Amino acid sequence: MSGRIVLTTMFICCVLYTLTILGIGQIMAPYTANGSILQNDHGEVIGSEVLAQAFTRPEYFWPRPSAAKYDASATGGSNWSPTNPALRKRAEKIMARLGMEEGNFIPADMVTASGSGMDPHITLKSAKYQAARVAEARGISVLSVQTLLDRHAKRAGGFLAPEPLVNVLFVNMTLDKLVK
């Protein structure tokens, strides 16, 4: 008797519940339920709208650093406190790569990872900080890049959001379409 109860409970909780939630997701929000996958003009998958990926070439906007090394199967922050020397070393290393010296202004999200390590957004300040590098690498004006950034900037939490955010993959895809 107790074996049947265990098997029935497992079937309900593990199979029926999972299939029900999957079905509701497919009906109510299929794009999100399937991973918010983005494709290029040739139908090739190039990424997900909700997961950061590493961009390192100068003609692309770079995302926030990732404590998970941009591996969606290993998401998570570093859990380093602001006083941890390792956090400072990582920030200094990134600043050196960007050609910055200590004491110069650099947006915080350029040198700190997000809580998940996979945040696809950067602040508009970070994007504009990178605009000159991207414009030069693509051979276009800084003003056109900044205009593009302003068009793509969104306040994720509406008026409650502290500052506008830019989805790095969307902006890079748009730049690829504009400048080939």
pLDDT in tens, 43-83: 888 888 888 888 989 999 999 888 778 887 777 766 777 78
Which DSSP string corresponds to 92-148? HHHHHHTT--TTS---GGGTS--SSS---EEEHHHHHHHHHHHHHHHTS-HHHHHHH
Cβ–Cβ under 8 Å, residues 90 and 65: yes
Asked whether residue 68 is domain-assigned, the answer is: yes
Specify the pLDDT at position 103. 59
Residue 72 included in any domain: yes
Report field, pTM of the whole predicted structure over 0.85: no
Is 10 part of a structural domain of the chain?
A: no
**Is 161 part of a structural domain of the chain?**
yes
Instruction: Flag whether 20 is in a domain.
Output: no
- The number of folded domains in the chain is 1
158/118 Cα distance (integer angstroms)? 21
Considering the domain boundaries, does residue 85 fall inside one?
yes
Q: Which domain holds residue 121?
A: 51-178
- Cβ atoms of residues 68 and 74 within 8 Å: yes
- Angle formed at CA 27 by CA 23 and CA 31, multiple of 5 degrees: 105
- 60 against 95, higher pLDDT: 60
Average pLDDT, the chain: 86
pLDDT tens across 139-170, in order?
A: 999 999 999 999 999 887 777 777 899 999 99
Tens digits of per-residue pLDDT, 96-118? 877 765 556 888 888 888 777 78
Tell me if 16 is assigned to some domain: no
Q: Does residue 24 belong to any structural domain of this protein? A: no
